[in-house]
Structure 1
Amino acid sequence: MSLSKLLLGAIRKIRSVLLLCVTISLLFYYTFKNEIDMLNSYAENEYLPSISNSPIEKNHEIPNLIHKPTKQISLKDPVILKEKNKYFPLLLTSASNDPTSSLLDPTAIEKSHLSYSEKYPVLFEFSLPHFNTADDSDHPAHLASDLRHLSLQEAKFEDAGSLQGNNRLKIKDLFLKSWRQKDFQISPDLWPIDLIDSLDTLYLMNESQEFNDIVERISEIDFKIPPRNMPDIIDIPDISAKLLGGLISAYDLSTNPILLTKAKNVADFILRSFDTPNRIPILQYAWKSDYNNRFPYKETSIGELSRLVLPFVRLSQITKQNRYFDAIFRIITRIERSANQVPIYSLFPNIMDASSCKVLTPEEVSTGDHQKNSAIMRSIDKDLKFVYCHQVEHFITTSNKIELDSKLISLYDMLPKLNALTNIDVHTLDSETEINSKKLYHDAMKHISSLLKFNPVHGSALNLTILSGLETSSIYSPTRNELMVQLRRNFSFNPESCNLASTLVYGQNVYKLDTENIKFAGEIIESCFRLSQEFNGLLGKLSLDPCQDESCQIDVQHKLNNIISGKYIGFDEGFGESKIIDLKGKTSEANEFDENLERTFSTVNNEHFKNIKLSASDIDLASSKWAKQPELPLWINSFQDISLLSPNIIKSMFYMYRLTGESKWRKMGATILDLTLQHLQENNNGAKGVWHISEYNSSSDEVPTYWLSQTLKYFYLLFSDTDDYSLNSFVITNSGHLMKRADTVL
């Protein structure tokens, strides 16, 4: 090699090294300068001294590092609050009592929100593991077994699983009538959330021309940032489940690239709500606010958080971009780390503190505890005062109420579906805990069956199995390392609890647990079906009495005597005396509690009289009926929030049929369909026999979106050929959106 070439090569290497050195030097310089600017901001009326680049003059007195400011500041001044909020996050209870909502500058709402810089960027992204179809050598040994070939749907059906054309025609006619009645409008001033929520149903119904026309019009909408006419507060679970989930589902079905582009735009906007100190999203996201340095709210629905999981994971699979999975994985790990921190292991209350902040007391601050732990961050509370937040690695229990509504059930519904979608147990990726989704799911279902299930008094041979709501009261004994949990059921029936049947049967097929879950699921959905028949297709929230003997038949005179004598006293603040029940649980993770913590459970005495308050004025003694609702059977104490069009029953019937192969579920579904049609035609008649579609007793003629995106979809799939959209090939989210099970993952 010639000397000139050697010299040229040396010059190139030197140039590369110099360029690298200059880049690193500039990086350190600007990083240090940003730190100086931040500390100067802290120092304004704070405890830290101001720092400048100027050298200290000779004989200049060094400032006292613990000097207390003489000038007091008020964070209620919007200008000061805005400046301080750049560095100190807001720690608020909920969106409904946000003190900054009254401090908004109206002109700020009009400014551009297109540019966004994260305050808490992710340094290292979690990623889904890579599967090699030819060689599984990259498959980490600690993960659960490969689920790519997991068969979920039953292979043999009692009725051969063939298409039932007559029922499908009824359903499609209902859908088209509902679609045209709703008359969707597409405008650049609003995101068409309801339209996109129902778009995949339109595709399933083979309305390809209208589907393509809508996609073309959607292509003209900007989904990078909401239009200014959108509400000041965005419901993140709602747009994640309906808008993002609808776009991904429509893409998975049609493979139209426009839908994928729009889905990425929506997801990138949603990721802004994850920009919090613990990277848990703010579910009620004030996207227009200038005060956007915040923790997630202290009152957060744990079930609503889980609604974000499947759409983001599926988007990560399709795009091969880990940032979508990373965001969700942080929710998943925090859920699993919280399973030991609730009174009933793995059974979460509906509301928890997602900020994970334990506020230091004034005494702890006075002794300097706030300076001893890097996990402690100075924050601004709901009273617009400075506090110190100690961040823990789990959600904090703040509520003692457990109700199996659709929000909470969606958490347990997500667990097996996440396994099916990713072909692994994602929970095993968290190396800091030994828990997996199977254990979390199994323990929760076991506790639901043991603690929430009851048989109500009724007026005929209904043989009902109902899931009650529950309240807890806990006392921890450190000397015995025991958590004594007192339980009080409310003996209510929530129609949304019918959804648990689908969760039970799906989880059974994923986790291959004992068949008791299928039996339990059958009891739940059969009871929901019988109640629906009892009220001609209607279902609502019921207050009931638990059985006192094997017959469960109502004794009218005994019931009247109990009401008159004042035994129905309703809930009070305390729990009262209790009786021990035969159920104990041990935990495996030590965080707030010792790893050998033992839980004991007891129920309050006479709890069946505490679920509702009744008196002699509530009954008509002459007729032995309810005074205000004589048409209501005496065995039902109250009947509220009545619904006709909800998917609660038909969803579980669809899953029971596809996952067991038993034809009775199709027959029950046909009965529910006929009852619904009959009710709509009889009670929604208009001129010349024209009838419209609306929810029961609704003041509006508006067609609810769940009727199009879920109820009619489940009806249609129930009577379709079972090879159509098989559960072996698709996962259906809790919001009713179909997503492909990938052959390979990232």
Structure 2
Amino acid sequence: MSTRSLLPTHQRNSSGIIILGPPSSRSILRMKEKYFFFGVIVSFMFFCFIGMIYLPDLKSTQLYNRYIKPADSLGPNLLGLVPPIESHGHNSNNEDNYELAVLPRPRARFDDERRLRKKIEEHFNISQEAVIPIPNLNPKIRSHINLDVSQSSRITNATIDLPDGADPDPDIAKKRDFIKNMTIISWDNYKKYAWGENELRPVSKRGHSSSIFGTSKLGATIVDGMDTLWIMGLKDRFNDGRIWIQENLTLDGVRTEMSVFETIIRFVGGLLTCYAFTKDEMFLRKSVEIAEKMLPAFDTPTGLPYSLIKPDTGSSKNYIWASQSSSILAEVGTLYLEFSFLTSATGDPKYLDKVEKIRSLLDSNSKPYDGLYPLYINPKSGKFGSQHFSVGALGDSFYEYLIKTWLFSNKKDVVALRMYNEAVDAIDKHLVQRTQSGLVYLADMRYGRLEHKMGHLTCFAPGMFSLGAKSSAHDQKRADHFMQLAADIANTCHESYTRTATKIGPETFWFSGDLEAQSGKRTDRYYILRPDVIEGWFYMWRLTKDPKYRQWAWDAAQAIEKSCLAPDGTGYSGITDVDSAKPKYDDVQQSFWLAETLKYLYLIFSNDELISFDQWVFNTEGHPLPIRNLNPAFPETVPQTN
């Protein structure tokens, strides 16, 4: 419709000047024009009405009369009595800011607001630890706001003081210091050459990002390594990492695909451990923000999450190579510790609800080989895929979390204990094999046929079996049996190290033909600073005190120092062939090198008080989480789930 048809007609004189005069004989507005304007007015009124419904009812609560109204005399801009986010590098377009738009937070007035907040606390005799209620906001906004309150005081007053853990034996103390120095080399060179990047390329001295993190700079090494720094007493370096996390860590705007599983065990798990150690609620808030970005992946008919997600859009999918576009057992079944702790720390039951639903589905599914779980499961139908079974890659941490969930619950989660016992009995029955020379290993199985190989990843199993045996998960006879099985597998993993030129074990080793705990194909011979063998020895040392495990760990540390330290001493790199006398570097210092490998080495040469098994359970990325009702670091108020 032209503009002219909407206006009254005018007359012009001969010079073209408009003469305002009476309208033409036709109606000023045609009928359809009247309908058009009527529709605009009705629409406007409708949207105004809807907007009024969703406005927060600030004056309908006691908060307004008790706090906000009297506080008007104390200052012009009280921001709902909530302190601003102390971040100078935070993206102004992130999720926090648009959700908290009802409570504007101009950073230029931060000091004034802090002084006003102090006056308010003095005026109303409000404890600095108290969280002032927020009126009628949705739970998501409320949780984000509450997590910001009294941040600085919580850091100084509620920090968990870990024991030093020093061993009185001077030789052991010297070895522990050596491991600590390896950590300092790894961290300092990451900070020098790749600060803020996901990982370090120590040979080429630049940043690196694995595909599991997408292409964004998310500081994976910082988040993954923070608790290791805290355990080792490297507080200055820890504080450097804390500042980076506070000012830079966000998934807002990340449009590339990330691994849901890896993000939760590394980022959420690492942040939650830092929160448990320090009670610094910045870490908890960041863990919530990241977990929220992962939740769209759980929006499937069964609640089983997809493997990959684009945080910016929430779109998710599975790997194209996964059987029938299925989700992976280890990925869907290794979230319980993190999400359970997240629910306890935030009071939001949705995290625990999601992992409870997953576990219930896995538990109720038909399993053709007793308690063995196939590696693939369809997120739409909830049915298992191809009949492939392994305690190594794609399956490992699912089994690990069954026993750890029971321990994490202070031995109250009987479902986890039952599932664990059924699983290890099935593993013992169907997958445990022994060579003619006596080496014990855990084979893979496809459709009833065994594959006589083990992966480096499978060498976590001595820790799982020994933890179950020593924690009364079985009767005494079965406990003795599984303790011996743990020792036998730990020995086989050690053999995979001693039978290579570098004295470092390969990614995969076989038990067929002339091969016994040795790599076959050249593509099996790489080492990427994995922790699993050393992790198994760590548990065996703690639970048996057999000195050979400390010796094996020291031998491995020396071999890694010799073959993996970058030429200029600028960090540690994986190598491409453990059977080569002069292996080539892969030029990647993995984030789990700091999160797990170095941490387990350090703890092997520390006493048992440092991260005691009586109070802590390690997640699958090596991040210790406090045991419910046994550890003062566990949140005091445990909410009830729906």
Work out whether 1:512 is the aligned partner of 2:391: no
User: What does residue 588 of structure 2 align with?
Assistant: 702
User: What does residue 101 of structure 1 align with?
Assistant: none
User: What does residue 256 of structure 2 align with?
Assistant: 232
Please report the TM-score for the alignment, with normalisation by the length of structure 2.
0.63
The within-5 A match list for 1:555-594 is none
Counterpart Cα distance in 1 of 2:442 and 2:302: 34
Work out whether 1:181 is the aligned partner of 2:189: yes
User: What does residue 116 of structure 2 align with?
Assistant: none
Is the 8 Å Cα contact of residues 314 and 421 (structure 1) preserved in structure 2?
Answer: no
Q: SS at 2:309's partner residue?
A: strand
* Partner residue of 2:599 out of 708, 713, 736: 713
User: What does residue 358 of structure 2 align with?
Assistant: 331
User: What does residue 317 of structure 1 align with?
Assistant: 344
User: What does residue 418 of structure 1 align with?
Assistant: 405
Is the 8 Å Cα contact of residues 574 and 589 (structure 2) preserved in structure 1?
Answer: yes
User: What does residue 282 of structure 2 align with?
Assistant: 258
- 715-724 vs 266-275, greater mean Cα deviation: 266-275
User: What does residue 354 of structure 1 align with?
Assistant: 379
User: What does residue 731 of structure 1 align with?
Assistant: 617
| Post-superposition offset of 1:700 | 4.1
**Amino acid aligned to 1:193:** A
Work out whether 1:465 is the aligned partner of 2:440: yes
Counterpart Cα distance in 2 of 1:406 and 1:734: 13
Is the 8 Å Cα contact of residues 266 and 621 (structure 2) preserved in structure 1?
Answer: yes
**Amino acid aligned to 1:531:** S
Is the 8 Å Cα contact of residues 389 and 444 (structure 2) preserved in structure 1?
Answer: yes
Is the 8 Å Cα contact of residues 573 and 586 (structure 2) preserved in structure 1?
Answer: yes
The within-5 A match list for 1:18-417 is 164-183=172-191, 184-186=194-196, 190-221=217-248, 223=250, 226-228=251-253, 230-289=254-313, 298-338=325-365, 341-356=366-381, 395-417=382-404
Work out whether 1:537 is the aligned partner of 2:503: yes
Work out whether 1:502 is the aligned partner of 2:510: no
User: What does residue 491 of structure 2 align with?
Assistant: 526
Counterpart Cα distance in 2 of 1:737 and 1:525: 22
Gaps of 5+ in 1: 1-29, 31-110, 117-158, 357-394, 429-435, 473-486, 547-553, 555-631
**Amino acid aligned to 1:539:** G
Counterpart Cα distance in 2 of 1:278 and 1:633: 42
Report 1 or 2 for greater relative contact order, CA contacts < 8 Å, sequence distance ≥ 6.
1
Is the 8 Å Cα contact of residues 95 and 252 (structure 2) preserved in structure 1?
Answer: no
Counterpart Cα distance in 2 of 1:634 and 1:411: 24
* Partner residue of 1:693 out of 572, 578, 591: 572
| Post-superposition offset of 1:733 | 0.6
| Post-superposition offset of 1:633 | 9.0
Counterpart Cα distance in 1 of 2:544 and 2:396: 21
| Post-superposition offset of 1:335 | 1.6
Counterpart Cα distance in 2 of 1:720 and 1:411: 28
**Amino acid aligned to 1:208:** K
Q: Aligned in 2, Cα 1:720/1:691: closer, same or farther, shift over 3 Å?
A: same
Counterpart Cα distance in 1 of 2:537 and 2:232: 20
Gaps of 5+ in 2: 1-49, 51-92, 100-166, 199-215, 577-583, 630-635
Is the 8 Å Cα contact of residues 180 and 602 (structure 2) preserved in structure 1?
Answer: yes
Q: Aligned in 2, Cα 1:281/1:493: closer, same or farther, shift over 3 Å?
A: closer
Q: Aligned in 2, Cα 1:416/1:259: closer, same or farther, shift over 3 Å?
A: same
Is the 8 Å Cα contact of residues 470 and 489 (structure 1) preserved in structure 2?
Answer: yes
Please report the TM-score for the alignment, with normalisation by the length of structure 1.
0.54
**Amino acid aligned to 1:538:** I
**Amino acid aligned to 1:345:** D
Work out whether 1:663 is the aligned partner of 2:542: no
Q: SS at 1:671's partner residue?
A: helix
User: What does residue 579 of structure 2 align with?
Assistant: none
Work out whether 1:442 is the aligned partner of 2:421: yes
Is the 8 Å Cα contact of residues 350 and 403 (structure 1) preserved in structure 2?
Answer: yes
Counterpart Cα distance in 2 of 1:192 and 1:636: 34
Is the 8 Å Cα contact of residues 501 and 652 (structure 1) preserved in structure 2?
Answer: yes
Is the 8 Å Cα contact of residues 538 and 642 (structure 1) preserved in structure 2?
Answer: no
* Partner residue of 1:451 out of 409, 430, 433: 430
User: What does residue 57 of structure 2 align with?
Assistant: none
Q: Aligned in 2, Cα 1:293/1:350: closer, same or farther, shift over 3 Å?
A: closer
Is the 8 Å Cα contact of residues 196 and 247 (structure 1) preserved in structure 2?
Answer: yes
**Amino acid aligned to 1:276:** T
**Amino acid aligned to 2:602:** Y
Q: SS at 2:247's partner residue?
A: coil
* Partner residue of 1:489 out of 450, 453, 473: 450
Counterpart Cα distance in 2 of 1:678 and 1:275: 47
| Post-superposition offset of 1:407 | 3.6
Counterpart Cα distance in 1 of 2:219 and 2:567: 29
User: What does residue 145 of structure 1 align with?
Assistant: none
| Post-superposition offset of 1:730 | 0.6
Is the 8 Å Cα contact of residues 200 and 249 (structure 1) preserved in structure 2?
Answer: yes
Counterpart Cα distance in 1 of 2:535 and 2:595: 12
Is the 8 Å Cα contact of residues 492 and 517 (structure 2) preserved in structure 1?
Answer: no
| Post-superposition offset of 1:685 | 3.7
Counterpart Cα distance in 1 of 2:374 and 2:505: 24
Aligned-residue sequence identity (percent) comes to 20
Counterpart Cα distance in 2 of 1:264 and 1:278: 23
Q: SS at 1:186's partner residue?
A: coil
Q: Aligned in 2, Cα 1:405/1:290: closer, same or farther, shift over 3 Å?
A: closer
Q: SS at 1:723's partner residue?
A: coil
**Amino acid aligned to 1:469:** D
Counterpart Cα distance in 2 of 1:420 and 1:285: 31
**Amino acid aligned to 1:448:** I
Is the 8 Å Cα contact of residues 94 and 252 (structure 2) preserved in structure 1?
Answer: no
Counterpart Cα distance in 1 of 2:533 and 2:555: 12
Is the 8 Å Cα contact of residues 163 and 720 (structure 1) preserved in structure 2?
Answer: no
| Post-superposition offset of 1:171 | 0.3
Counterpart Cα distance in 1 of 2:625 and 2:374: 29
| Post-superposition offset of 1:644 | 5.9
Q: Aligned in 2, Cα 1:211/1:637: closer, same or farther, shift over 3 Å?
A: closer
Counterpart Cα distance in 1 of 2:317 and 2:564: 49
Q: Which has the higher helix share?
A: 2
User: What does residue 562 of structure 2 align with?
Assistant: 678
Counterpart Cα distance in 2 of 1:730 and 1:238: 21
Is the 8 Å Cα contact of residues 252 and 312 (structure 2) preserved in structure 1?
Answer: no
Instruction: Report Cα offsets for 1:172-193 as digits up to 9, x if no partner.
Output: 1111111122234238963322
**Amino acid aligned to 2:532:** N
Instruction: Report Cα offsets for 1:273-295 as digits up to 9, x if no partner.
Output: 2233333322212445587799x
Is the 8 Å Cα contact of residues 296 and 314 (structure 2) preserved in structure 1?
Answer: no
Is the 8 Å Cα contact of residues 325 and 378 (structure 2) preserved in structure 1?
Answer: yes
Q: Which has the higher strand share?
A: 1
Counterpart Cα distance in 1 of 2:333 and 2:171: 34
| Post-superposition offset of 1:497 | 1.3
Counterpart Cα distance in 2 of 1:638 and 1:191: 35
Is the 8 Å Cα contact of residues 425 and 437 (structure 1) preserved in structure 2?
Answer: no
Is the 8 Å Cα contact of residues 537 and 679 (structure 1) preserved in structure 2?
Answer: no
Q: Aligned in 2, Cα 1:292/1:442: closer, same or farther, shift over 3 Å?
A: closer
Q: SS at 2:446's partner residue?
A: strand
| Post-superposition offset of 1:319 | 2.2
| Post-superposition offset of 1:112 | 8.9
Counterpart Cα distance in 1 of 2:347 and 2:170: 37
